[in-house]
Structure 1
Amino acid sequence: MAQVTMTTQRWDELKALLQDDRRLQTEYPKVAEYLEMATRLPGTGDDQADAAFDLRFVHYMTGGAAVSSNPYWDIVEPLVFEHEGRRVVNGGRAEGSARLAFAQLILQSAYAYAVPSPQTIEWISGFCAGLPIVELGAGRGYWAAQLSRSGLPVEAYDVEPPDKTENISFPGASGQVDVWHPVRDLDGFATRSEVADYVLFLCWPPGWGDKMASEALSSFERAGGKRLVYIGEPKGGKTGNDAFFDALAARWSLDSVDPHFVSWWTEADVAQGWVRN
């Protein structure tokens, strides 16, 4: 596993933090929770690799924007391997590990459910063909932040912006950024132009029969929308509802699939670009 590089000053900061349990619990409770649990969970079997991952986790989770503009990716990148034709975060083991699965829960809550690799951000930018992006169900706006940094105009909306209201999928915690990009509520979306001169971006829209995905797509269609980026699982998975997938099959064509998309080994999500028939 690639070693993380840092300045002597940063190394001293981390040592001081890790030597002060009370401060770690107060300032970075999620990091403290991970470190406490990690020692109880089986890792990869390679103690050196597990220690390197723990260091990356602590460094990027506590360093903020000063150490990385995409900490999620910087934490997981060395654990990305090819498996059955897919790029997955599994640490080189088909079954992953219990320790990595626990880290996954914390990282998805702190950043986003899907992993925004630089290659996927570049693929989305190409698919947009110069159009801006509107993301619905943006959560913390982590993907919106990465897309904005790539030069794309991005608007992000969520029914429960984490910096303004309680969001059970993205709960607040000390030492953790509430939003990475401005996220407005749906009232803000309702006041924007009704002409869909943008690419609709749905990243892990809720599943289990929730109507959010199908209603967002229907509204987009009524406004004349032509291009959709969908990141999530296939029909019957954890994301989207049947009506959403039925609408895609009836009125849309799959134009592009990101071949370099990175998924957690526990998920079946993909990145797809759709165009209206």
Structure 2
Amino acid sequence: MAKLTITPRRWDELTALLEDEERLRNEHPKVAEYLDMSARLPGTGDDQVDADFDLRLVHYMTGGSVASANPYWDIVEPFVNAHDGRRVVNGGCVDGSARLAYAQMLLQAVYAYAIPAPQTIEWVADFCAGSTIVELGAGRGYWAAQLARSGLEVRAYDSEPPDRTNNASFPEAAGQSSVWHPIEDVTEFATCFQSADHVLFLCWPPGWGNAMSSEALSSFEAVGGERLIYVGEPKGGRTGNDAFFDALSARWRLGCVDRQFVSWWRDADVAQGWIRK
């Protein structure tokens, strides 16, 4: 497990924060909520692993950009393990734990549903080869921010930008960023494609029959789009609708898959690069 290095000054800051319960609840209510709940839930069975995870979560979620430019990854990275040919966050326990499951829900709401491991960001950059990325359903723009930091140009859109509307998937809370990258309203998405060289990026598009993914793909195809990055579950899962997967099967071919992609152990998401036939 990668060692977490914390300066004496940062230790003092964390100690003062954790010893002042009222301040913690006011400044970082989601962290306080996690600490309250996690103490009541079964862990991985290894107390040291659970304590290390809690420390990382508290440190990076309360440390802001000074602590990390990719806090989501820095929280979960030491708890990634290989299982059935995949890289998953399970804390070394095949079945994970109730505490990790609770942390997953919290971290997905604060950052993003999929985990942007540095290797995956590099994989996306290679696939895009310098082309502009257009992301629909960007949420807080966490992936967009990581991709932009790698040098890519990213335009991000969402039907409910969390910094301007009430987004049930990404609720507002003190002590956390509303957005990590500028998010434009989805009404601008229809006119955003200026070139077929753009790459469409769909990360955990809504499933359960929601037409967003198939409509976005149709708009992209209409302007001659040729490359798509899809991060989500296979057909029949919780992301994308049947029409989206049918269109991929009929008019696209799978160009590459990120073998280093990291998922939560309970999820079946993958990172795929698709090319127009």
TM bracket (short chain) = over 0.9
Match of 1:50 in 2: 50
2-structure distance, mates of 1:200, 1:190:
12
Are the aligned partners of 1:3 and 1:52 in contact in 2 as well (CA < 8 Å)? no
After the TM superposition, which residues 57-96 of structure 1 pair with which residues of structure 2 at under 5 Å, given as runs? 57-96=57-96
Match of 2:202 in 1: 202
1-structure distance, mates of 2:82, 2:222:
40
Match of 1:263 in 2: 263
After the TM superposition, which residues 206-221 of structure 1 pair with which residues of structure 2 at under 5 Å, given as runs? 206-221=206-221
Match of 1:124 in 2: 124
Aligned residues: 277
Q: Deviation at 1:234?
A: 0.2
2-structure distance, mates of 1:24, 1:216:
41
Are the aligned partners of 2:206 and 2:213 in contact in 1 as well (CA < 8 Å)? yes
1-structure distance, mates of 2:196, 2:185:
18
Q: More deviation in 195-204 or 207-216?
A: 195-204
> Which digits, 9 at most, give the CA deviation of each residue in 1:7-42, with x for residues without a partner?
111111000000000000011000000000111001
2-structure distance, mates of 1:114, 1:193:
25
Q: Deviation at 1:193?
A: 4.6
**Unaligned segments of structure 1, at least 5 residues:** none
Match of 1:136 in 2: 136
Match of 2:153 in 1: 153
> Which digits, 9 at most, give the CA deviation of each residue in 1:65-89, with x for residues without a partner?
0110000000000110000000000
- Segments ≥4 residues shifted beyond 3 Å: 190-196
2-structure distance, mates of 1:139, 1:168:
10
1-structure distance, mates of 2:93, 2:34:
20
The reply to whether residue 192 of structure 1 matches residue 188 of structure 2 is: no
Match of 2:166 in 1: 166
2-structure distance, mates of 1:223, 1:191:
10
Q: Deviation at 1:187?
A: 2.4
Match of 2:182 in 1: 182
- Secondary structure of the 1:256 match is strand
> Which digits, 9 at most, give the CA deviation of each residue in 1:83-109, with x for residues without a partner?
000000001111000000000000000
Match of 1:230 in 2: 230
Taking structure 1 as the reference length, the TM-score comes to 0.98
**Unaligned segments of structure 2, at least 5 residues:** none
1-structure distance, mates of 2:142, 2:173:
16
